[in-house]
């Protein structure tokens, strides 16, 4: 059993990860500034520090806790905010991550598991599902920052022996996702439909995404912890679902007769996103356990 730090452990994915690690007998320390995370998400058996990953005081936590492994999820996650203020985005997503990695190096952390992004790194591609080898040219500061941290991880591994796995996630959904946030179309749609309100679809609704349930992402993280592998791995379902198909599936599961509102498309929105996950399946033995219908039923519950 390990003593594990989770940055962003009060957030949607981080809190599910903390629950699973604690259930497996690990000691969990959570660092979160609560800018988007919620105190009620934090497992009572975890030790919690309300602190930003950019703060110099992060060093004191490493010194105090004698950590072995770090799961790095803390981030500025709003793509539109990153476009509006790339400097502020970089302060958290690049400089904050560097502050964390410097402490990992200083205190001989055995492994870092970094939660990266698939869609925002690859953008619209000519190969769908998209493999890890595809040339990454992100078109948002958020995607650029995630790719930068992956490159820094490789640097710390090559020069200081800091082992790492970067998980490039598809579109994650599940319980605890913020229905009022910028991301998370399933949570946003469910919230509207449960109130008998009409959700908004931007554009023609034919744009596709690869929707992955949060428990499957957590399982990928647990396997990354256990394996000796180093490098970048996609985590998705390899299935494209259009926004129109998603809306239809939601109304079918909820037995509702509600029509969406169609608004003009948003500038720069990606048209297709789907990840090739053959690498993680082969090297980790990972498989998703949830299809979209099963995952939607869990959210509605």
pLDDT tens digits, 119-167: 899 988 999 999 999 998 898 999 999 999 999 999 999 999 999 999 9
Tokens 């040219």 correspond to 137
Q: Are 174 and 213 in contact (CB under 8 A)?
A: yes
Residue 156 has phi, psi (to 5 degrees) of -65, -30
Q: How confident is the model at residue 183 (pLDDT cuts 50, 70, 90)?
A: confident
pTM: 0.96
Q: Please report the pLDDT score of residue 182 as a whole number.
A: 67
In Å, what is the CA distance from 112 to each residue of 4, 139, 156, 170, 214?
10, 26, 10, 20, 20
Residue (of 109, 75, 80) closest to 92 by Cα position: 75
| Domain 3-170+212-235 shares a fold with domain 172-210+238-276+283-300 | no
Domain locations along the chain? 3-170+212-235, 172-210+238-276+283-300
Spatial neighbors of 248 by CB under 8 A, at least 6 apart, are none
pLDDT tens digits, 277-300: 999 999 999 999 999 999 999 998
Q: Please report the pLDDT score of residue 149 as a whole number.
A: 98
pLDDT tens digits, 36-84: 999 999 999 999 999 999 999 999 999 999 999 999 999 999 888 999 9
CATH class held by domain 3-170+212-235:
alpha beta
Q: List the catalytic residue out of 49, 122, 134, 142.
A: 142
pLDDT tens digits, 72-87: 999 999 888 999 999 9
pLDDT tens digits, 247-277: 999 999 999 999 999 999 887 788 999 999 9
Q: Per-residue b/e over 253-285, b at no fewer than 16 CB within 10 Å?
A: beeeeeebeeeeeeeeebebbbbbbebbeeebe
CATH (one of 3.90.740.10, 3.40.50.720, 3.90.25.10, 3.55.40.20) for 172-210+238-276+283-300? 3.90.25.10
134 is catalytic: no
């Amino acid at each position: 059993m390990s003593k594990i730090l989770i940055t962003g452990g009060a957030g949607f994915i981080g809190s599910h990860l903390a629950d699973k690690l604690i259930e497996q007998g690990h000691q969990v320390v959570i660092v979160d500034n609560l800018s988007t995370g919620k105190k009620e998400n934090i497992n009572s058996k975890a030790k919690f520090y309300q602190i930003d990953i950019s703060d110099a005081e992060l060093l004191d936590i490493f010194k105090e806790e004698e950590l072995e492994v770090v799961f790095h999820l803390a981030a500025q996650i709003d793509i539109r905010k990153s476009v509006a203020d790339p400097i502020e985005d970089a302060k958290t997503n690049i400089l904050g991550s560097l502050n964390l990695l410097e402490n990992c190096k200083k205190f001989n952390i055995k492994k870092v598991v970094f939660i990266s992004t698939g869609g925002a790194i690859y953008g619209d591609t000519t190969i769908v599902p998209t493999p890890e080898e595809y040339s990454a040219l992100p078109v948002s500061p958020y995607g650029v920052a995630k790719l930068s941290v992956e490159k820094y991880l490789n640097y710390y591994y090559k020069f200081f022996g800091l082992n790492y796995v970067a998980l490039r996630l598809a579109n994650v959904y599940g319980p605890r996702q913020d229905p009022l946030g910028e991301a998370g179309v399933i949570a946003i749609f469910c919230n509207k439909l449960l109130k008998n309100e009409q959700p908004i679809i931007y554009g023609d609704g034919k744009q596709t995404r690869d929707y992955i349930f949060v428990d499957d992402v957590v399982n990928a993280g647990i396997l990354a912890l256990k394996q000796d592998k180093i490098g970048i791995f996609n985590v998705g379902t390899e299935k494209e679902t259009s926004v129109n198909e998603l809306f239809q599936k939601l109304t079918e599961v909820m037995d509702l007769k509600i029509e969406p509102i169609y608004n003009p498309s948003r500038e720069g929105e990606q048209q297709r996103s789907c990840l090739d996950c053959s690498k993680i399946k082969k090297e980790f033995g990972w498989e998703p356990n949830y299809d979209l219908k099963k995952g939607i039923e869990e959210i509605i519950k």
